[in-house]
Structures are given as structure tokens and as C-alpha cells.
Amino acid sequence: MVTNHGPLSDTRVSDLYLYAQYHDLLHSGLVPFRDFSFEYPPVALAPIWLVGGDETQMSLLMLGCAIAGQLAAWSLGGPVAGWLTVALPVLAGALVRTHLDLLPAALTMVALALVVARPRGGVEGAAALLAIGTMAKLWPAAVGAVVLVWLVGRGEGRAAVRGAAVFVVVALAIGVPFAVLGGFPSVMVRFHLDRPVQIESTAASILEAVGGTHVTGHPVLEDRFKSNGLAGGPAGVVLTGTTLALGVVGLVLLALAHRRRTDRDLLLAAFGVTVAFVALGKVLSPQYLCWMLPPAAVVAARGAWVGPACVAAASALTQVWFPSRYFDIVFQHDWAVGAVAVRNALLLAALAATVAALARSPRPASAAPPPG
């Protein structure tokens, strides 16, 4: 209800129009990647093909994903985590129902629940879900890497190998047909390599302080990459720096996940790598909040509340400008640029707090024996 009525219901900036265009192209018989440019991996086609830009149907689909994520959070962090996820629409606003990002978020949460609960075939099932999520929005691959190194660190190398094999097989099963038809993954990869630094990213906040760049596209029209960005001047150097930082932080989190072996450590590392992907990536669209908030609820319920609190604050702050005042950023109004910078600083603080919490976790003297 809160995203359909009142101050959190604003949908003036959303991806529904884009989804509707893709929906029409698909139903006219055109092949994605080969016949028209498509910037997402193939699984993202599924909700677009099913509901396109229909606001009601997309809302219902994302509601189902939100419920799945909440049940997984409850499994991972108990009632506290389950009830904390109720804050998702309050903190993220109407974008939860106008973007498909809750789909990979739900797949990732359920995958983590399977790894922790460890039913028969749980690791393999989790790997399959993470592969499907990766083929929707890429970032679940980073969580998959965390799971694998955590398993190896626990002395469960065979489970890790099985999981890795399932991940590869499922990802190939999804991707190869599109590669055979033509255009995948080269069209998607080229799109993301060529696009400029997105205007709400951490790299953009640095560039705003340094100066020397310009906003891509007409001030009130997106560029050919379907967003507004910053280009020129030191943009390339800053992007290289944030990308290297992402790589370094990712390796640190993987190393810590390998050496810490409790379920809480796995969840901290998974949350941390998700925040890193958002905070240090080339693009930081508001809907990426949907990736961070469900695992934030679990980590908070597990006692590491500083990082989740920073993510919650960053999410609430995002609603100050998105969607109602988004074009104040495009027009480079000082207050809006400053608000984005504060939001990004909060995400960096969340990342630092999560890495620190994981580093403080006791390191066991010896590897835990594999279960059963």
C-alpha cells in the first residue's frame, strides 16, 4: 500500500517504459542481442516478456519476489530479520514495483538460505539459483564466489566443486542459446564498457568534486545508454581507480570469507560484497537498493547493525531526490549533487563497517569438518 498511495508512490522516473518497448520487440518476433540492443543478461527477459511495462502485473511479480526474500531472511536471521524486511518498500519507495531488481535479490536470498540450512542438495540448489540470478543482473556471481571460498575454508572442497560445476552448467544453459542466435554477450558487454560513469555513482561524486566533466545527454533526456552520466576530463582515471578499489575490496572479502567459517561470517561477506558492487561500481541506479536491503536485514539481526544502519540511511536519503527531484542532479544543482555525495559516503561507511565486522570475527584454529 505504501508504494501505491502517498509520498512513496511516485513513479515518474521508472524502467516501465523501457520494459514496455522491449516487450513489444520480443512479441514482434525480434531476437534480443541479435536484432536489438539489450543491456541486461538473458534472464531479465523473462519478466519483461511476461508483463512488460504493465505496472500492476510488475507490482504483483515483484511482490512475489519480495515475499520470497522475506521468507529467506526469516530463515537466515529469525523473526527480527523477517520483520525488518517489511521496511523495504518504506526505505526504497515505489521503485520496488517498477523495476525487476527484486528478482535477482530474491534468488540470492533463497540461495543463501539453502547454503545455511543445508538440506540435501542445498549447495547445488543454491548454485543454480545464483547462476539464474547472475543471468538476470550479474552481481549474484560475486555472492556465488563468496559462497564457494567460504565452503573451501570450511574444508568442504567437494561441495564447493559441485556448486561451481552447477553454476557453470546453469549459466551456460541459459547463455549459450543466445550466443548461438548471435549478439550475446558481446552486445551487452560493449554497452557497459562504453557507457560513461553514471551520474549517481561514487565515481561521479568524486568527479563532481574534481571538476572537468560534462553531463551526457540533453539535461532532460537520457543518453543512448538510457541514463545520464559524466564524461570527459578525469572521468577515465577516476573510473579506473574505483574499479581497482572494487577489485581489491572484493579480494579482501573473499580472503576473509575463506578464513571465517560460521554462517554469520558467510552472511557478512555476502552483504559486504553486495554493498561493494553497488558503492564502487560504474553505475549506481536507485533500484540497486533492492539488492542491499534484504541481506542488510539479516546481518542486522545477526548483531552487525552498523553497516545495515548506514545502508538504511542511504536508502532513505535517496528518496530525497529520486524520483521527484532527479533532474536537479542532471542540472547539477549543488544541493542535489551534495545529497548524492552524502548517500555514497554512507554506502562506503557501510562497506567499511562490514569489512571490519568480518575481520573481527574469530578465526577458528582448524577447519570445521564437513557435515554428515
Q: What tens digit of pLDDT does each residue of 288-319 get?
A: 999 999 999 999 999 999 999 999 999 999 99
- Mapped onto helix, strand or coil, the DSSP state of residue 335 is helix
Distance of CA 291 to the CA centre of its chain: 4
Give Rg (Cα) of the chain: 20
Mean pLDDT on 13-29: 94
Tell me, what's the pLDDT at 78? 97
Which burial class, exposed, middle or buried, applies to 369 when counting CB atoms under 10 A from its CB (0-12, 13-18, 19+)?
exposed
Please tell me the distance from the alpha carbon of residue 98 to that of residue 265, in angstroms, as a whole number.
Answer: 33
Residue pLDDT, tens place only, 81-123: 999 999 999 999 999 999 999 999 999 999 999 999 999 999 9
Mean pLDDT on 322-335: 93
DSSP secondary-structure letter at 211?
-
10 — pLDDT class (breaks 50, 70, 90): confident
Cross-strand pairs, 215 = 230
Distance of CA 59 to the CA centre of its chain: 19
65 — pLDDT class (breaks 50, 70, 90): very high
Tell me, what's the pLDDT at 335? 97
Residue 277 cell numbers, joined:
558492487
Tell me, what's the pLDDT at 368? 46
pLDDT exceeds 70 at position 371: no
Residue identified by cell 552481481 is: 139
Tell me, what's the pLDDT at 367? 44
For residues 292 and 308, the answer to whether their CB atoms sit within 8 Å is no
Residue pLDDT, tens place only, 181-232: 999 999 999 999 999 999 999 999 999 999 999 998 766 555 666 788 999 9
Percentage with pLDDT > 70 across the chain: 94
pLDDT exceeds 50 at position 158: yes
365 — pLDDT class (breaks 50, 70, 90): low
For residues 94 and 57, the answer to whether their CB atoms sit within 8 Å is no
Please tell me the distance from the alpha carbon of residue 315 to that of residue 333, in angstroms, as a whole number.
Answer: 20
